[in-house]
Amino acid sequence: MLEDSYATENRDRISDWVRRGGVAFAFVLFGLDKFPSRPDAQWVKFFQEVGIGQWFRYLTGVVEVLGGLLVLIPQTARAGLALLALTMGSAALIVAFRLGRPADAIISTLFCLALSAFWWARRSS
């Protein structure tokens, strides 16, 4: 009986690391992708369209990398997930309302919902 509970706990811990590692990997890559400043770069064009300034692209990149790194550390994972969920929710709102493309906001919205669900599932950790 104790062996079963130990195996389940070990499996849960591994599963948690895999999920957190996947989130961290994705958002560190997403964040780093925002730093190249070539005029033809996708993110340079996108943030020009947003119209706030290129400083916002850098800020977004830093927030995504920071959030990804926070998710890796078990004690800060919830803070990182909350930061990333808020970032994706903000992205969805900017795309839907500032750029007027609500259909393009679906991906950001799904990321926001998935990160929020992961945050909620970790609330007792």
Cα–Cα distance, 106 to 36 (Å, whole number): 25
* pLDDT band with cut points at 50, 70 and 90 for residue 25: very high
Our count of domains for the chain comes to: 1
Please give the residue range of the domain that contains residue 111.
Answer: 2-121
Instruction: State pTM to two decimals.
Output: 0.88
Residue-wise pLDDT tens digits, 85-94: 999 999 999 9
Residue-wise pLDDT tens digits, 57-78: 999 999 999 999 999 999 999 9
Contacts of 57 (CB under 8 A, 6+ apart): 34, 43, 44, 46, 47
* pLDDT band with cut points at 50, 70 and 90 for residue 13: confident
Cα–Cα distance, 71 to 49 (Å, whole number): 30
Cα–Cα distance, 24 to 59 (Å, whole number): 17
Contacts of 12 (CB under 8 A, 6+ apart): none
